[in-house]
Amino acid sequence: MSAGGWARLDARDTALLELMDDPDCDPRRLAATYRRFDLVNRAVSGWGGVYRAHVRPRLRALGRRGRVLDLGCGGGDVVVRLAGLAARDGLEVEWVGADPDPRALRSARERERPGVRFVSRGSSELLADGERFDIVLSNHVLHHLDAAQLRGFVDDSRALARSAVLHADIARGRLAYALYAIGVTPLAPGTFLRTDGLRSIRRSYRAEELARTLGEPWRVQTPAPFRVLAVADGMAGAHG
């Protein structure tokens, strides 16, 4: 990698646009990217640990059937994986994946199964619909948003959640960049995985940056290597 490539990791490169965010991108490559996100997220996203540390204890404490929302669910692989973990633990949960992008919803609905459904909705629309959930989570959404979008997204997520909000993302760093560039190569042909993954890292926050950006009451953790997790209590009433 060039010296310039390293330098661009010193600060967030918010001018970069990811190829799959282009509404005119190749639909076949986009669909292939969504399908292969399952493998990538299982390898790098750390959701197994987040489920054990945050999701499972809160669901068990409810004493009733829970509701969990994956906000900006993309291809739906994370919410489906978490649903499988909860089912294995004997937890009764309604899982909802929401994304306003119809291209993402087409891929997500291929994963639909009993107890997991997908809706074409953004956070403000879900609030207007009167929807409330016990836990609201997201994966790899924060780095896509500008400052105003980020504030609206995190505020809406707290308003939608009764118990907790968990926003997971990549932690920007040189080692993360180098390892991803090498590791994703076998999965990348026919997809946007390599180009967009590297751009995502360059757009992402470091833990201290995200904590400073979000402010109170958000707590930013590092649940796995090269990962950040923003955690806050939900604001929805117990009967909201």
Q: Range of 139's domain?
A: 3-233
Report how many domains make up the chain. Answer: 1
Residue 112 has pLDDT above 50, yes or no: yes
Alpha-carbon distance 173 to 175, whole Å?
6
Q: Is residue 171 part of a domain?
A: yes
**Sign of torsion over alpha carbons 150, 70, 43, 33:** negative
Q: Is residue 27 part of a domain?
A: yes
Residue 115 has pLDDT above 70, yes or no: yes
Q: Is residue 121 part of a domain?
A: yes
Determine the distance from the C-alpha atom of residue 62 to the mean position of all C-alpha atoms in its chain, rounded to a whole number. 23
The pair of structure tokens assigned to 238 is 């117990």
Query: Tens of pLDDT along 117-133?
Result: 999 999 999 999 999 99
Q: Check residue 232 and report its DSSP letter.
A: E
Query: What pLDDT, on a 0 to 100 scale, did the predictor assign at position 88?
Result: 97
The helix (H) or strand (E) run that includes residue 96 is strand 93-98
Q: Which residues pair with 93 in a beta bridge?
A: 66
The pair of structure tokens assigned to 99 is 């994304």
Q: Check residue 11 and report its DSSP letter.
A: S
Residue 5 has pLDDT above 80, yes or no: no
Whether the CB-CB separation of 82 and 115 falls below 8 Å is answered with: no
- Supply the mean pLDDT for the chain: 94
Confidence class for position 1, pLDDT limits 50, 70, 90: very low
Q: Is residue 239 part of a domain?
A: no
Alpha-carbon distance 222 to 168, whole Å?
9
Q: Is residue 157 part of a domain?
A: yes
CATH code for the domain of 95: 3.40.50.150
Query: What pLDDT, on a 0 to 100 scale, did the predictor assign at position 8?
Result: 74
Alpha-carbon distance 165 to 229, whole Å?
10
φ/ψ of residue 234, rounded to 5: -75, 160
**Sign of torsion over alpha carbons 154, 120, 39, 94:** positive
Query: Tens of pLDDT along 47-94?
Result: 999 999 999 999 999 999 999 999 999 999 999 999 999 999 999 999
**Sign of torsion over alpha carbons 116, 118, 121, 125:** negative
Q: CA end-to-end span of the chain, whole Å?
A: 51
Sequence-distant (6+) residues with CB within 8 A of 147 are 213
Q: Is residue 240 part of a domain?
A: no
Confidence class for position 3, pLDDT limits 50, 70, 90: very low
Q: Which of 91, 111, 143 is nearest to 35 (CA)?
A: 111
Alpha-carbon distance 169 to 225, whole Å?
11
Q: Kindly report the CA angle at 34 between 16 and 125, in degrees rounded to 5?
A: 80
Q: Is residue 238 part of a domain?
A: no
Q: Is residue 181 part of a domain?
A: yes
Confidence class for position 96, pLDDT limits 50, 70, 90: very high
